[in-house]
Each structure stands twice: as C-alpha cells, then as structure tokens.
Structure 1
C-alpha cells in the first residue's frame, strides 16, 4: 500500500494552467500521476477560494493517511491482545510509514478501541464447546417450572486473606512504604476453608465444611446421604441433581449409590462454571464476608461468617439466579459454545 502522493505548489500551478488551456481533468491527473479526484478537488478549491495552494494549517501535519487508518483497524480487530508497538512495527514493515506507539493508540481511540483488562476464563477446546452447545440446545427451552426441579451444587474455597487485586491505597508521592500504606499478608493467603452447598428455587442445603481432600466416599457419606437426598425429596419426585464432573462426584461408589437411591442426575458439560448459577452465590458470599470489619482473625471465624451469610442470603436472590438459566443457554449458543458474561 504505497503512500498517497501529495501535490507540490508547482504541480498545483501546472494543473491550474493545463485546465485553463482546456486539458481534461483525467489527462491532467495522468500527467501528474494522481487520481482524477485530486484534480477535481483542486478545481473546486480554486472556484471557492481563488487559489490552489493549501491553507496554512495549525499543529503538526498528519502523517497517517486514511488508508493506513483502516490498515491499523484491520490489524487490531482480529488480534485483540496486540500491543500498539506490535501494530506500529507491522505498519512500518508493510507501508514504510514510521510513527510512534502513541500515534497508534490515538488512532485506536478514534475507533473506540481502548486497552482494558481481559476477562479471565477457562480454556475451552473444540470438544468443550461442542458439549456446551449440546447442553444448551437441550435445555434452552426449559421453563422456570422445570428449572425449579434442579438442585445446583458445587464446592468453593475461601481464603482467609483473599487476593482479588482490587485493593487500592491512598498515598502521596514518596509514601510508598509509609505506615498504613503497606498491605501485609501471610504466605499462601493465611490458609483457607472449602465448603459445599446446594441451591434451588424452593430450598437451600446447609453449608457443609469440607475437611481435607474430598473423596468419593467422603462425598457419598457426608454430602449425598445427609444433605442431597433429603433436599431432593423436599423438591419433589421429579427433582434433579446437578453436580460437575469432578472425580469425587463421578467415582464408582458414588455412581452406584446414585442408582440405588434413584436420583435423577443432570448430564453436565465440562468447564462450564458460567452455566452454574451457584457460582454467583459464592461471589456474593465472598463480598458479604469481606464487608465485615475487622476481617476474620482465623479460619474458624471465617467459616462461622460464611455459614452465617449463607443462611442470610435472600431467597429472591437465589430465584433470580436460577431464573437466568434460559438466558445463560441462549447466550452460550449465541457464542457458539464459547464464554458468556456469566
């Protein structure tokens, strides 16, 4: 893509003379090796201002042409994580135009493209996307009454000192290590607790503290028998259990127990936390615990506050999460089985 040729004042005078002598605009353009539209605009400028020279411009002359603007946009859109320096180097290699990285950023800003932190999601292979599409295709037409039969379950881990990266400190220049401006943390987050829970539109289970590693036997004896089975019986005869494909959930002993007690289990697609509404329960639970001041002093107090806030979450909040299942399926299908905003 060669840069567009710019007419000098001498060429503009020659073009004016040729046009006054009756030479066609296309022939003048051929003599000067420019597009006919350049000669047409030159004629219009002469009739409007009485001169063919450009007006005196303020500021630095623009280096990048409109074609190069489109080139920058075409480079940025397919490669969303490309830096301004990458695009600058590609522009130089392709068009031999040398500009600064800030110029590239200015052009991107004109297109509405600004650097933002990416949303983090799990890695989805082609098989994962296909499984997600199959699940959403099967359930996208479910009504709220059908989703009300599902008990959504999951485990989550909460750290005593969560590092969400959103903590800010107010300080002046030179006060980086001032008292109160340093966030003191213990190694490995000061410890953590793992909890299990289940929700439906009709009831929620107790928040169970998972001690140690969760095994299939542990999952059957401590969670399925005392918590899940009574919850499903309270929901009704058509109750459905939703749990993910973690190894403890799919062990041989657990599968045998599920068949013995005749529990209906929902087939779940791998790597689909955005399709499970209980994930938002964990987020809300974490926010509520972090609002406690001072923060929990030990793991026992953290567990106590988790159980307290779990029981205090409004039922309407849980119902809204489960009622969003149809929209989750719709959005997943719209993204061809890819990531959703949930």
Structure 2
C-alpha cells in the first residue's frame, strides 16, 4: 500500500496534527469542506486514515454565524404613506413641508421627498399653454386653412403680441409633484390681470 510507509497517528507531531485540524475545519462559502482527507494527507505526508483519525477526534464546532441583521425600521408607516398621498390628491400644489405639518409627521420634508420619488413621482415644472376655448381652436384652424390655400405672402405682414410680466412673482413658473397615472397638469396663461406690466412687440419680415 502507498500508505505503508506513512507515519501513524501517534507518530505525527502535535504541530502537524494542529495543521491537519485547521485544514479539516476550513470551509467553503457554501459550508462544504475545502480540502478532502486525501488532499490533507498528501500535504502533510501522512496517510488518509491517519488524517481521518485525527479529524474524528477533533471536536466539531459550528462556524460562527454572522449576527442577525435587523433591517432599519421604515421611517414612514403604511398608514402615514397613505395619508400623504391623500393630502396630495386633495391639494396637488402642496409642498413637502406643508405635508409634514398637515400630517403631523416626525420626519423631515426630505424624507417625504424620498418616499415620493420611490413611488414614481417627480417634481416638475407645470407646462404653460394659452387658455383656448373650442371657438379659439376653430378660429385658428380656419385662419391657417384660408391662408394656406390662398398662398398668402406673409413677408408683407406685421405680427404683434403683448406679454404680461407679473410684479409679485415669476410669470408662468410653477412646479408641483407629478404622480404616475395622474392627468397632466397645464398652467393656463391669462391675458390680463392686476399687478403687472404689459410689453408690446411686433415682427415683420426680417425685422423685429
């Protein structure tokens, strides 16, 4: 036998026995032994039965388990999240600071913002558009159709318009939280109002 000239267990030094035990207790991430008894025997120049005998006498100690990681408790409860969404449904222009106050939350507005973004909401500018009635739309289509057919030369025309600038804040710059599935909000532009300055301008051909 190849093991006939291998040292017996009692002839193996304590140091070698300790090395054998270390190799025998080494595990892979899946918990299986990293080395076979034959591999350990070949490494230390002893027979496989000797390795098996040494390891059989080694107390089996379960590998230390990592401490159980308790996940961080949710900052907002499900009930609070539902309350937040109800308030935004009632007041789409509400700010997160206002929501914290109304819902009496013990969290910062930033926490509410993170929740809204995780829910698919986005803080975006409300697009502006003229307030057009069906009559306005019909008149525009009629104007375009008439001059398209007549091949009107617009280079001899003067186009003018007026712009209102508010004195008490941005004109047409409003942001709000937009939620998935929500009807797209459009900010109507009024032609006249108080507390503003009207500016008139015109263009004709290559001139302004």
Provide TM-score, normalisation by structure 2.
0.37
Provide TM-score, normalisation by structure 1.
0.24
Q: Which has the higher helix share?
A: 1
Rg larger in structure = 2
Q: Which has the higher strand share?
A: 2
